[in-house]
Amino acid sequence: MYLKIVLSSLFILFLQHLAQVIYHMDYHRVVYNHLPGQCRLVPGVEYGSEDMQTLSNGLTFISSGLLFPPSPMSIYKYHEEHNIRGKILLFDFNHPEENPLVLKISEGFDQDTFHPHGISIFEDKQTGRVTLFVVNHPPGFDTIEKFEFIPEENLLQHVKTYIDPAIIFANDVLAIGENSFYFTNYGHFRGCWGHLMEIILGLPFGNIMYFDGNDYKLASDGLLLPNGLALSLDGKTVYVASPKTEDLKVYRRESNNILEFVQQVPLYSGVDNPTVEPDTGNILIGAHPVLYQVAEHLSHPEVSAPSQIIQQEKMYLKIVLSCLFILFLQHLAQVIYHMDYHRVVYNHLPGQCRLVPGVEYGSEDMQTLSNGLTFITSGILFPPVPKSVHKYHEEHNIRGKILLFDFNHPEEDPVVLKISEGFNQDTFHPHGISIFEDKQSGQVTLFVVNHLPGFDTIEKFEFIPEENLLQHVNTYIDPAINFVNDVLAVGENSFYFTNYGYFREVWLHLMEIMLGLPFGNIMYFDGNDYKLASDGLLLPNGLALSLDGKMVYAACTKTQDLKVYRRENNNILEFVQQVPLYSGVDNPTVEPDTGNILIGAHPVLYQLTEHLLYPKVSTPSQENMSSKNHWYLRILVSSCLLAPK
């Protein structure tokens, strides 16, 4: 049974890969002949030219007579029948009506095994000396040949032959100096069948090497059939054509001449040799638009294959701006979608409910003791809110407070807890809260997130039930407490807390939301030190702890999911899973009897945003419930606390 599944899967993968290979061979593509103007066939290169390089004075070197290492025997026979020999031609673009001439090569160089491929020139601006580097494919191995051009004699003076194990299967060379150059190794296998396997299987065995005059070193690897090379006018950027992937790769030259990948520009054609225009810096790229016809031409030269010239403007401001605009529109559409303008919420109550007085202006968080007593925060002033919200609080005399509600007597109203003297209640704007209940002593410790003007704190209180009093114990202030949303007590002096983002100012915080910047985190305080428990989060909100204390649940409003973390021994949080809930989840609570999770949520985020700016505008809320194995939603619509009647 398993063997059949494995074989079936492998067969499906094979078919998928085969379909990709066939597609990339361009059998579906039709090319129409288009000329840039009046052209003529230049004699002397009837049997093809693989590369050409132009000097600043318009003289152009052209390689001809390529014998590619993986070529079948039919190609060698074709070359013999037509007496094709490797040569370098010289063409003058100042006199395009004239024909090219074949350059002489100095004595001592074996022209019988000269099969030139890629070429590159280095022009010394001071002396005028021209050095020519040529990739050569003699039988059995590859070399790079160095020549000096003697213009008075139309002669290439052979200077040196570079032979090294690093020169495996060279395609093109790029001169950097009189004795230094890059070159591409097109692949690993020089034989016909091995090279065909590389192409069909898409094996990235190609690389770019650099020679500094003494040593060869790897500049970039893991490339699939890297072809022609070109250098930007400032010498800082290297362009590499990749015909199989039909793109132009852009690299930045580091100070040690290693190439750092920058971008990949899709060109949808079998790009071959790029050339940088000396006046503009634009890139001209010779290409093969129909790859299966190129493959046929390489096996049967009498069969012609279409070619193409692509112009790329400086890598490419228009494309970059267009792409940025498209990405902006895409991101804007995502932002609008996640603001829930498309969503309709229907009022649904779990039973008879009543509006509990005392929280008419809202409650941000609530925590319940094992005996049913529940602490409720009210009077939040969120740091990024505009001045209109501050004005609303003043007009309605809204003050920060902690209320106590007893679920054993749901018909009774909550009471406002007193806070011990010495604590400044004028700057008390409570947000998230958490309780630590000592099972032995019965002592209840309450941690409260507080938003003071300009900074955040976490306040610690001891609950005195006989007096309905919160005895203030400590104020936690630290740079780690940046922009806090919720706190999670794990001990009498230890807790986690979420930093909702980085910016507290309204416009910068709005930028975080709109751009989806994951600047939020979860911190841990062990009683002495603060440390990062998890970071790279987008607007992390409420926290909850599993009954066994091993898991932490973090609600993420913007991404509309609940993230589950495992607590490590050092209290770092290890991400386990992300549970999509499709609502702006806010504060999770773990039911003490079942371990299920109740999550207060905002199903329509744009209405929540409107409510935060204009508190008079109500917004729907929602309760999400998670069992240990199943996730489902129960919708409760209310902007205030509802209690059973």
Catalytic residue set? 117
Question: Which two three-digit tokens encode residue 198?
Answer: 């590389």
94 among the known binding-site residues?
no
51 among the known binding-site residues?
yes
- Residue 207 burial (C-beta neighbours within 10 Å; 0-12, 13-18, 19+): buried
CA dist., res. 315 & res. 153, Å (int): 39
Phi-psi region of 67 (alpha: psi -120 to 50; beta: other; left: phi over 0): beta
171 among the known binding-site residues?
yes
50 among the known binding-site residues?
yes
Task: Calculate the dihedral angle through the C-alpha atoms of 221, 226, 232, 234, rounding to the nearest 10 degrees.
Answer: 20
- Residue 279 burial (C-beta neighbours within 10 Å; 0-12, 13-18, 19+): exposed
The DSSP annotation for 39-108 comes to --PPTT-TT-EEEEEE-TTSEEEEEE----TT--HHHHHHHHHTT---EEEEEETTSTTSPPEEPEE-TT
485 among the known binding-site residues?
no
172 among the known binding-site residues?
yes
User: What SS3 state is found at 12?
Assistant: helix
460 pairs with which residues across the strands?
447, 474
CA dist., res. 171 & res. 183, Å (int): 7
- Residue 438 burial (C-beta neighbours within 10 Å; 0-12, 13-18, 19+): exposed
Angle in degrees, CA 602, 597, 436, rounded to 5:
105
Q: Which of 132, 133, 151, 150 has the alpha carbon at shortest distance from 142?
A: 133
Upper half-sphere CA count for residue 528 (Cβ side, 13 Å): 0
569 among the known binding-site residues?
no
List the binding residues for Ca(2+): 50-51, 119, 171-172, 227, 272-273
